[in-house]
């Protein structure tokens, strides 16, 4: 169980044996039937690449914030995931990306919402945290800020991928707003048939990372294209501090994935931290409690990765599955997609 946050402001003596990184690549209708073996293997590789990149930072004594950024960048550059390249489309046929990061040591946070030209939105979120007095920049202003900071800028067409475009057409046909990994229609007849290629494409997801560095500092980050067929200007939970992303050295670092509206209404990431801080609930119990109240009881769907300052971790979800994994000091990644 974590110690109360008041005592946790300061870093402790460096200890490489405690370094831990946890990542997710989205939750949803992720089952052995909906994710064929070749696709599952791609997820495994994608998550492992992210874990190894972030672990290298931590193993070299780097900060949890750096490790989170590095791990998320790997997944943003991988079209498999609904973040950066591979982001889903809005109803208007655009890619509008959200990202956030929070430093559990300082309590500082940065986020961007609705950016269309930043190759790696997580780097823009970090720049907001490091170089402004603000927490969240949105839309054109956020894109302009990223350009001013000399971050890598790409034309909006960079984010256009054929499988996401097809996913939007499917969602439009059904006039559905969908979690991108929940793309498969729930027709009972489909139980027996193998997934169509477009369905397979839906098993991508928002990405997130939480890390504990050798100094004992926690950080959390999340990056997403949001929901397929979302309304113009819609912003989800990922860039909302306390909803989809939160870190506090005294309690826990959390990154979420799922139907963002429920995570915002339930202030999910912070609710998990608050249970630990005020009610002294253990990490695992806090995650389960919050997911039940904020999601399951309200018909919301999704999951979280949560990492405590003592290295305890929980990868919880109320969906069929969640792409997820972790690596500790030994550097051996553990990756899963389906329910245990």
- Closer residue to ligand ASP in complex, CB, 104/300: 300
Give the pair of three-digit tokens for residue 299.
């018909």
Angle between helices 121-131 and 139-148 (to 10 degrees): 80
CA–CA separation, 248 vs 8, rounded Å?
Answer: 8
CA–CA separation, 85 vs 107, rounded Å?
Answer: 29
Please compute, for residue 121, the number of CA atoms within 13 A of its CA located in the half-sphere on the CB side: 40
- Closer residue to ligand ASP in complex, CB, 28/54: 28
Identify whether the C-beta of residue 12 lies closer than 8 Å to the C-beta of residue 216. yes
- Closer residue to ligand ASP in complex, CB, 182/213: 182
Vertex 73, ends 94 and 313: CA angle to 5°? 115
77-106: contacts with ligand ASP (CB under 6 A): 82
CB of 32 to ligand ASP, least distance (A): 20
CA–CA separation, 21 vs 57, rounded Å?
Answer: 10
Q: Which residues pair with 101 in a beta bridge?
A: 110, 221
185-214: contacts with ligand ASP (CB under 6 A): 205-206
Identify whether the C-beta of residue 258 lies closer than 8 Å to the C-beta of residue 300. yes
Site for ligand ASP contains 249 (CB under 6 A): no
Identify whether the C-beta of residue 28 lies closer than 8 Å to the C-beta of residue 203. yes
Scanning 15-23, 164-172, 251-259, 290-298 for contacts with ligand ASP by CB under 6 A, the matching segment is: 251-259
CB of 136 to ligand ASP, least distance (A): 14
Catalytic center residues: 206
- Closer residue to ligand ASP in complex, CB, 212/227: 227
Scanning 29-37, 168-176, 220-228, 271-279 for contacts with ligand ASP by CB under 6 A, the matching segment is: 220-228
Maximum distance among all Cα pairs of the chain, rounded to whole angstroms: 58
11-50: contacts with ligand ASP (CB under 6 A): 26
Scanning 13-21, 253-261, 265-273, 320-328 for contacts with ligand ASP by CB under 6 A, the matching segment is: 253-261
Q: 195, 221, 226, 250: which one contacts ligand ASP (CB under 6 A)?
A: 226
Site for ligand ASP contains 321 (CB under 6 A): no
Site for ligand ASP contains 123 (CB under 6 A): no
CB of 21 to ligand ASP, least distance (A): 19
Scanning 39-47, 160-168, 234-242, 320-328 for contacts with ligand ASP by CB under 6 A, the matching segment is: 234-242
Q: Tell me the DSSP string of 192-232.
A: TSPPPHHHHHT----EEEEEE-TTS-EEEEEEE---BTBPT
Please compute, for residue 97, the number of CA atoms within 13 A of its CA located in the half-sphere on the CB side: 34
Count of residues interacting with ligand ASP (CB under 6 A): 17
Q: Which residues bind ligand ASP (CB under 6 A)?
A: 26, 82, 179-180, 205-206, 224, 226-227, 236-238, 244, 257-260
């Amino acid at each position: 169980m974590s110690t109360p946050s008041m005592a946790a402001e300061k870093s402790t003596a460096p200890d490489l044996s405690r370094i831990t990184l946890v990542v997710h690549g989205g939750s949803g209708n992720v089952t052995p039937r909906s994710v064929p073996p070749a696709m599952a293997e791609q997820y495994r590789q994608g998550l492992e690449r992210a874990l190894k990149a972030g672990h290298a930072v931590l193993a070299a004594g780097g900060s949890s914030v750096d490790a989170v950024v590095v791990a998320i960048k790997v997944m943003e550059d991988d079209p498999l995931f609904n973040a950066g390249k591979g982001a889903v489309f809005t109803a208007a046929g655009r890619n509008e990306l959200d990202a956030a990061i929070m430093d559990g040591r300082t309590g500082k946070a940065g986020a961007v919402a609705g950016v269309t030209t930043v190759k790696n939105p997580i780097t823009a979120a970090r720049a907001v945290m490091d170089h402004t007095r603000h927490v969240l920049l949105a839309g054109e202003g956020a894109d302009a800020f990223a350009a001013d900071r000399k971050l890598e800028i790409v034309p909006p067409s960079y984010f256009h991928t054929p499988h996401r475009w097809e996913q939007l057409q499917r969602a439009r046909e059904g006039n559905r707003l969908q979690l991108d990994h929940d793309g498969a229609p729930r027709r009972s007849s489909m139980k027996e048939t193998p997934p169509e290629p477009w369905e397979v494409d839906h098993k991508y997801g928002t990405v997130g990372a939480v890390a504990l560095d050798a100094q004992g500092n926690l950080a959390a980050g999340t990056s997403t294209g949001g929901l397929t067929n979302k309304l113009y200007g819609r912003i989800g939970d990922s860039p909302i501090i306390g909803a989809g992303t939160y870190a506090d050295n005294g309690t826990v670092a959390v990154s979420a994935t799922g139907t963002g509206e429920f995570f915002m209404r339930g202030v999910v990431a912070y609710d998990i931290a608050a249970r630990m801080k005020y009610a002294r609930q253990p990490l695992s119990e806090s995650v389960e409690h919050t997911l039940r109240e904020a999601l399951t009881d309200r018909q919301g769907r999704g999951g979280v990765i949560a990492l405590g300052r003592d290295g305890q971790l929980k990868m919880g979800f109320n969906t069929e599955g969640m792409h997820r994994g972790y690596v500790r000091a030994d550097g051996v990644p553990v990756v899963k997609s389906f329910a245990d």
